[in-house]
A = this chain, B = another copy of it.
């Protein structure tokens, strides 16, 4: 294989395995040794491609997490159609689509936020960018709804966006404590009540 391709492949392998392990066991509590054991490479390879564990953490946030939130929660907002339907579908369908693994371990982005969002500025900023983009996409959609007349003009798009994101991330944490989906169903019912209020 070409050197450049090989190098890129290794870097991506480390990134992908890191993401999985961080998701399953936490960032701080996953060691570089553990990561490299799963990639079947050695520490030498790791420190050749990444300066240190912090750099890897930032890479996971700004590529893997960013992409996950974008594909799962932002892109679906950009469809055409009734704004309230899009909101209801995006939030509830996403929840329903999760695997057992994803239900058990919560939202990887939210896990990072809660684990290291108060730890170092670099992590904080990288994570903030994800939430800001998500919030902005929601605001944009809500504004479209207002313009089209499907959303009450008096509602604050910022407030609704923040409340929607908060509740979604919150329930993904709380679901960790339960073995059933009852809590998710109640969340979805609670979401409907909310959307009813902003509907025109």
Contacts and interface: CB of A to CB of B under 8 A. Distances in A.
A69 to B, nearest CB: 13
Most buried by B among A104, A115, A164, A178: A115
Contacts of A118: 104-106, 176
A189 interface: yes
Interface stretch (A6-14, A40-48, A50-58, A153-161): A153-161
A113 interface: yes
A97 interface: no
B114 A111 contact: yes
Interface of A: 26, 28-29, 104-106, 110-111, 113-115, 117-118, 124, 127-128, 131, 155-156, 158-171, 173-174, 176-178, 183, 186-187, 189-194, 196-198
